[in-house]
Amino acid sequence: MSAQFDHKDIKSLVDIWRPRDFTSIELHRGSGITFEYPRHWHDEFYLCAILDGAAYVDCPGTSIFTPRGTLAMVPSGEVHANRKLECTFRCIFMEFKALQNALEQFMEQNIPGLNFRTKLIDDAPTMASFLQLHRSLEKPSTRLGRDHSLLVFLHQLLARHSTASITLSRDGNEDSAVRRSKKFLDEHYAERVSLQELARLVGLSPYHLNRSFCRKIGIPPHAYQLQMRIARAKSALRKGSSIAGVALATGFADQSHFTRVFKRLVGDTPAQYWWRRKNVQDSADIPH
């Protein structure tokens, strides 16, 4: 049975942080928490994914049970209470104006009267995109990768759970725009490029560029940029460059981030890759 906590020590058990580049977002993460938050309200739009255990959100006139695998949503300014029962969760607090601005910037259209149909989202794709966003804002990542995760989640939230009517731009001949954005990433693979900057460069909305790039190249811009970084890193390692130097030169946040991505995409760590290539070269010099 989880312990009961008072207000002065509950915050010590919940991780709270604001991610780089997204100062209007605050993230919370807790594990095995049993606690009752009294009636309150906050300025931010609130989303909480229940990963284990359960919780209740008590709003005026109703109590909403949020079991494992669901996403609770409370609009800014609404008075509510919150009960968590051995609950493992991830939360996002986001300024509502920033939420609307982000949606309008990504879609490049006005979205007036943004409202949501329910306070409980029991929808696997939306839950998956929420968790992908939360985790991408937790660990070192490319700016393009974070923008992609935010765009995918916001589009899911808007299209599947809001009352807003959105108009998707028609697909035309985006070959030139995709080629130009791909060439830009080839030449600027180590830079912190945002999706908005890349879209502005080629004259498409961020949403339209992301979708067109993924359809024509096979992966979204952030994944292509990572592949370019790893390709350049492999070349530098083969030439004998240090792992720390390669991580810095190819735009990774630090050596551990570089190692983690390299291992995921290549199958070896940078050190293993370097030694395997060195051993192959050494054996080729031995006469048979």
The more confidently predicted of residues 37 and 172 is 37
Cβ(65)–Cβ(107) below 8 Å: no
Average pLDDT, the chain: 87
Cβ(144)–Cβ(222) below 8 Å: yes
Cβ-based burial of 23 (10 A; exposed 0-12, middle 13-18, buried ≥19):
exposed
pLDDT digits (tens, 9 = 90+) for 102-140: 888 877 778 777 788 788 999 999 999 999 999 999 887
**How far is the first Cα of the chain from the last one, in angstroms, to the nearest whole number?**
68
Q: Given this model, what pLDDT does residue 288 score?
A: 40
Percent of the chain with pLDDT over 90: 61
Q: Given this model, what pLDDT does residue 23 score?
A: 84
Query: What's the pTM value of the predicted model, to 2 decimals?
Result: 0.81
Q: Read off the pLDDT band of 173 (50, 70, 90).
A: low
pLDDT digits (tens, 9 = 90+) for 67-93: 999 999 998 889 999 999 999 999 999
